[in-house]
């Protein structure tokens, strides 16, 4: 049973149960598992993200910096001590939740008393990253619930918001839909979306930005495509404002300049909007609250001098880092949950790797792409922007988290690369842009139909596997 829904000249083909609705049902189950089974503040940096969201919910859009090493905000006094009562679970897989301590933490009320609390690694994050969490805090306040209940409400609403954005992205994605689904179904992705972390919304934003740009390659140059282009620029600007190393991606809308006969104004305006959002937040939100980490041996200034004095050594170290850490980082991106202390069954990582590879190969249509030199140039530009962001992530952590002159890099985690992976199909869309006017043979259509069906079946089976894996892994890890 299929029908077509028409909005202007935009058509989204829908079936009885399209893949984006299947993903939504999956997230209702898997997301609820993560909300309920993950103990309070046991997603990496969730406490600092939640405190930043509380600050925003109370009107503190800009973080507060007290000194070169101290930034955070003024928050209700009981919040931080209550959250610290769960620290015994961090980095200690042998520990289970103390049910008595959990009950006591639930009884901790909000208080009129306030104090300055440090959370320097999230104090400069923008409000756009915390829409769902802030809504949850406001709802909790309206209901008169205690802080811990507000955390669970915030997790749930953030999960719903991330899911809604992701579903819209998948609905627009076309050939990219199975790839998006596999990435967004990974236990790490689900855990981040169903938490108070900003990282979940960045995943949904990345998928939507990629889908919007992909739609513009298929569509005529009209008002709807203009709106898509501008929306993509705004979203990419919000992503860059949340993670400075992602700044190069604000230039991704410029790939639409490759379209013949289309206006160049809208891609330029889109990148201008994204760049403006990033720069404005950098000036008013990031620069005033940036601090240096008070860790012995770490100095951003001295480390930068070391990098500039030893370019060949740095290049060699970065290459070796990529070779030696690619497998652990991939496993972290797939799902090492909690504070990177909750591994999944080994079989799951193998299955996830196979699904990732097959869904990526599915981005390449059954028909051979009609490639011209300019397409290769623009695709290379996309890869350069994404590689620039990858390099920026690693360099930023070497400068700010690693001792001066060290021959290794501290703090790099697999989840940092997931938003960039979701943007990778932009380059592939460029390669196939000339295929839209080619009449496909019956044989080609049949092959494509079989590929699509096989990929969607694989995604469905993978979703079921993820649901059971999340339940068993979180239950065994945390609960007595």
Q: How far is CA 94 from CA 256, 262, 328, 348, in A?
A: 52, 60, 22, 21
| Pairs from 440-446 (Cβ < 8 Å, separation ≥ 24) | 440/367, 444/366, 444/367
What pLDDT shows up at residue 443? 77
What pLDDT shows up at residue 97? 97
Residue given tokens 């979703």 in the structure block: 463
Share of the chain above pLDDT 70, in %: 94
- Statement: residue 116 has pLDDT above 50: yes
- Statement: residue 80 has pLDDT above 80: yes
Lowest mean pLDDT among 12-16, 52-56, 91-95, 440-444: 12-16
Give the residue with greater pLDDT, 130 vs 408: 130
Sequence-separated (6 or more) residues with CB below 8 Å from residue 63: 52, 55, 71, 72, 73, 123, 124, 285, 288, 289
Strand partners, 64: 72
Q: What's the pLDDT tens digit per position in 175-230? A: 999 999 999 999 999 999 999 999 999 999 999 999 999 999 888 888 999 999 99
What pLDDT shows up at residue 4? 45
- Statement: residue 11 has pLDDT above 60: no
DSSP 286-312: ITTT------TT--HHHHHHHHHH-HH
Give the residue with greater pLDDT, 42 vs 297: 42
Q: What's the pLDDT tens digit per position in 155-180? A: 999 999 999 999 999 999 999 999 99
Share of the chain above pLDDT 90, in %: 81
Q: Count the Cβ atoms, other than its own, within 10 Å of residue 357.
A: 11
pLDDT band of 257, cuts 50, 70, 90: very high
How many domains are contained in the chain?
1
pLDDT band of 431, cuts 50, 70, 90: confident
- Statement: residue 445 has pLDDT above 90: no
Segment 446-462 mean pLDDT: 91
Lowest mean pLDDT among 27-41, 45-59, 296-310: 296-310
Lowest mean pLDDT among 1-10, 65-74, 203-212, 337-346: 1-10
Tokens representing 372 are 């011209």
What pLDDT shows up at residue 67? 87
Strand partners, 11: 6
- Statement: residue 351 has pLDDT above 60: yes
Alpha carbon 450 to chain centroid, angstroms: 31
Tokens representing 367 are 């028909």
pLDDT band of 366, cuts 50, 70, 90: low
Alpha carbon 78 to chain centroid, angstroms: 30
pLDDT band of 88, cuts 50, 70, 90: very high
Q: What's the pLDDT tens digit per position in 316-330? A: 999 999 999 999 999
Segment 386-390 mean pLDDT: 97
What pLDDT shows up at residue 370? 75
Sequence-separated (6 or more) residues with CB below 8 Å from residue 123: 52, 63, 64, 65, 71, 72, 73, 289, 291
| Among the listed residues 39, 161, 157, 38, the one whose alpha carbon sits nearest the alpha carbon of residue 471 | 38
- Statement: residue 249 has pLDDT above 50: yes
Q: Are 33 and 473 in contact (CB under 8 A)?
A: no
> How far apart are alpha carbons 457 and 26 in whole angstroms?
14
> How far apart are alpha carbons 204 and 241 in whole angstroms?
15
φ, ψ for residue 341 (rounded to 5)? Answer: -125, 10
What pLDDT shows up at residue 438? 64
- Statement: residue 287 has pLDDT above 60: yes
Q: What's the pLDDT tens digit per position in 406-424? A: 999 999 999 999 999 999 9
DSSP 236-280: HHHHHHH-GGGGGGGGGGGGGGGSTTS-SHHHHHHHHHHHHHHHH
Task: Give the domain extent around 425.
Answer: 2-478
- Statement: residue 129 has pLDDT above 90: yes
Segment 247-268 mean pLDDT: 94
> How far apart are alpha carbons 112 and 118 in whole angstroms?
19
What does the mean pLDDT of the chain come to? 92
- Statement: residue 364 has pLDDT above 70: yes
């Amino acid at each position: 049973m299929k029908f077509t829904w028409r909005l202007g000249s935009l058509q989204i083909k829908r079936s009885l149960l399209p893949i984006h609705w299947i993903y939504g049902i999956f997230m209702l189950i898997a997301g609820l598992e993560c909300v309920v089974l993950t103990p309070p503040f046991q997603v990496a940096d969730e406490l600092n993200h939640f405190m930043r969201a509380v600050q925003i919910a109370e009107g503190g859009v800009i973080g507060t910096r007290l000194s070169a090493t101290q930034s955070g905000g003024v928050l209700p006094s009981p919040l931080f001590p209550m959250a610290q009562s769960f620290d015994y679970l961090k980095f200690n897989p042998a520990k289970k939740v103390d049910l008595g301590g959990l009950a006591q933490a639930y009884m901790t009320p909000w208080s009129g008393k306030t104090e300055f609390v440090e959370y320097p690694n999230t104090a400069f994050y923008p409000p756009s990253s915390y829409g769902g969490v802030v809504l949850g805090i406001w709802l909790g306040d309206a209901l008169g619930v205690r802080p811990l209940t507000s955390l669970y409400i915030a997790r749930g609403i953030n999960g719903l918001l991330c899911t809604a954005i992701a579903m819209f992205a998948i609905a627009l994605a076309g050939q990219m839909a199975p790839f998006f689904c596999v990435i967004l179904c990974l236990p790490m992705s689900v855990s981040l979306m169903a938490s108070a972390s900003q990282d979940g919304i960045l995943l949904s934003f990345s998928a939507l930005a990629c889908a919007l740009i992909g739609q513009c390659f298929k569509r005529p140059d009209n008002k709807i495509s203009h709106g898509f282009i501008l929306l993509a620029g705004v979203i990419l600007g919000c992503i860059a404002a949340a993670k400075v190393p992602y700044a190069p991606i604000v230039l991704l809308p410029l790939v639409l300049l490759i379209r013949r006969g289309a206006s160049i104004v809208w891609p330029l305006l889109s990148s201008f909007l994204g760049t403006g959002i990033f720069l404005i937040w950098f000036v008013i939100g990031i620069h005033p609250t940036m601090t240096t980490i008070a860790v012995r041996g770490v100095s951003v200034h001295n480390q930068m001098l070391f990098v500039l004095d030893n370019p060949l050594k740095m290049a060699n170290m970065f290459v070796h880092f990529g070779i030696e850490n690619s497998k652990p980082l991939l496993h972290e991106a797939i799902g090492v949950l909690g504070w990177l202390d909750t591994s999944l069954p080994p079989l799951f990582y193998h299955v996830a790797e196979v699904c990732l590879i097959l869904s990526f190969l599915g981005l390449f249509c059954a028909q051979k792409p009609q490639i011209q030199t300019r397409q290769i140039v623009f695709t290379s530009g996309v890869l350069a922007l994404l590689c620039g962001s990858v390099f920026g992530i690693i360099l930023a952590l070497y400068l700010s988290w690693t001792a001066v002159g060290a021959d290794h890099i501290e703090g790099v985690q697999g989840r940092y690369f997931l938003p960039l992976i979701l943007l990778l199909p932009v380059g592939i869309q460029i390669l196939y842009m000339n295929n839209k006017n080619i009449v496909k043979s019956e044989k080609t259509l049949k092959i494509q139909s079989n590929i699509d069906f096989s990929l969607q079946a694989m995604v469905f089976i993978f979703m079921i596997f993820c649901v059971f894996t999340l339940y068993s892994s979180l239950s065994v890890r945390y609960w007595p």
